[in-house]
Amino acid sequence: MIIAEQKEISEIIEMIGDHKKVLVIGCNTCVTVCLSGGAKEAAILASALRLAFRVRGKQVEIEETSIERQCELEFVDTLSSAIKDKELLVSMGCGIGVQTIAERFNHLLVVPALNTNFLGLPEKQGVWVERCQACGQCVLDKTGGICPISRCSKSLLNGPCGGSQDGKCEINKEIDCGWHLIYERLKALGRLEFLAEIMPIKKWSTSRDGGPRKVVREDMWL
Amino acid sequence: MDFTPAIVAFCCENSAYRAADIAGSKKEGYPPNIKICRLPCSGKLEVIHILKAFEEGADGVFVFACHPDSCRFLTGNVRAGKRIAYVHGLLEKIGIERERVEFFHLSELEWASFLEMVRQGNERIKGLGPSPAKVKK
């Protein structure tokens, strides 16, 4: 899922600026699970903003709502009545949610309340870790299910760099060496021969280097 | 200025709520401006409850949890403590003094301590004056 964290409230206050009618919109999917932008967080942010503006002696009307998914137009459409008479929308979705709302309601300014961090998972309650960089060309079949693109700091494809020590990465001793993990996993699986296969130079055009990406399936068109 | 603060006291029903009840049955009064809100456990307290109290005009919020290692649900009091710490940080960023939210540990038998805590807490909130987030009428 997409992992995001809330911006500092001072930054959100600054983005609201002099707008008088504001709607804070939560998203009930990924950012609910990473505790940054769900219905609960939307209620907290809206309440905190109301208090903050009162303290500053400003009259700002702040309401909150939450929708199932900010990244799908069907759900974004359900905001139609809630956004009436609003001057500014504060999205608590990921960057995709902000943009979907901005595209759908292009007469209104939409600002982000979150910083979108990465694709990952909750390692334990309150800790989220990166697992995928959406490179568009998955090699997990060759690496025992551990991604060298996201788990190796240098995204190397054929073993660790010279900086790997005691299973840790040279950029930070808290970070596991992705290739050490791959080696240990393949060893446990009895598939160390996988490492003998040299992975060719990666086609990065399927990643961000190819510009904005698009997936088309004409068979699904209506 | 003669100021009577509005204070909401969130009380765990397994400790402070009972202590308040015992204090009441002993005809021991405590400041009437303190409104008690009963919680099934202090771990039920959410950040939004405290913020809403300030939105509704509270000048201070007290949270009463069981003593460390005495929570009937094991870690409710620990969770309450963490949420209070989060609220303290948030309030400071908003511009509300963190001292307006106080956290106490208490057992149900400590009714005298409950009275002392609310009386002294009331004086401290009085000293802070009205909440800066209070709507001026």
Give me the mean pLDDT over the B21-39 stretch.
93
Strand A2-6, strand A109-112: pairing: unpaired
- What's the ipTM? 0.94
∠ CA B66-B128-B47, nearest 5°, is: 45
Token pair belonging to B65: 């949890």
Query: Any idea where the domains of chain B sit in the sequence?
Result: 7-128
Contacts of A55 in chain B (CB under 8 A): 94-96, 132-133
Which residue in chain B is spatially nearest to A9 when comparing CA positions? B93
Query: What domains, with CATH codes, occur in chain A?
Result: 2-118 (3.40.50.2300), 133-199 (no CATH)
The burial of A118, by beta-carbon neighbours within 10 Å (0-12 exposed, 13-18 middle, 19 or more buried), is given as middle
∠ CA B2-B5-B10, nearest 5°, is: 165
The answer to whether the Cβ–Cβ distance between A54 and B90 falls below 8 Å is no
For chain A, say whether B47 makes contact (Cβ under 8 Å).
Answer: yes
In this prediction, residue A198 carries a pLDDT of 96
B93 pLDDT exceeds 70?
yes
DSSP state of B5: -
A105: helix, coil or strand? coil
For chain B, say whether A55 makes contact (Cβ under 8 Å).
Answer: yes
Contacts of A53 in chain B (CB under 8 A): none
B80 sits in which H/E element: helix B76-94
Give me the mean pLDDT over the A112-116 stretch.
98
Q: What percent of chain A has pLDDT over 90?
A: 99
B46 pLDDT exceeds 90?
yes
Strand B60-65, strand B101-105: pairing: parallel
Alpha carbon A80 to its chain centroid, in Å, reads: 25
For chain B, say whether A127 makes contact (Cβ under 8 Å).
Answer: no
Distance (Å) of CA B117 to CA B16, B34, B114: 11, 12, 5
What's the topology of domain B7-128? Rossmann fold (3.40.50)
Residue bearing tokens 């099934």: B40
Question: At what angle are helices B76-94 and B47-55 packed, to 10 degrees?
Answer: 40
Which band of pLDDT confidence, cut at 50, 70 and 90, is reported for residue B136? low
**B69 C-beta neighbours (distance < 10 Å), count:** 9
**A119 C-beta neighbours (distance < 10 Å), count:** 16
In this prediction, residue B137 carries a pLDDT of 55
Per-residue pLDDT tens over the stretch A143-165: 999 999 999 999 999 999 999 99
**A203 C-beta neighbours (distance < 10 Å), count:** 12
In this prediction, residue A208 carries a pLDDT of 86
For chain A, say whether B82 makes contact (Cβ under 8 Å).
Answer: no
In chain A, alpha helices (H): 9-16, 30-33, 39-55, 73-76, 95-104, 148-151, 178-189
> Of A40, A43, A52, which is closest to B94 when you measure between CB atoms?
A52
Per-residue pLDDT tens over the stretch A131-147: 999 999 999 999 999 99
Per-residue pLDDT tens over the stretch A27-71: 999 999 999 999 999 999 999 999 999 999 999 999 999 999 999
How far is A108 from chain B, CA to nearest CA, in Å? Answer: 26
Q: Chain A neighbours among B 88-107 (CB < 8 Å)?
A: 90, 93-96
Residue type, B71: C
Q: What is the pTM of this model?
A: 0.94
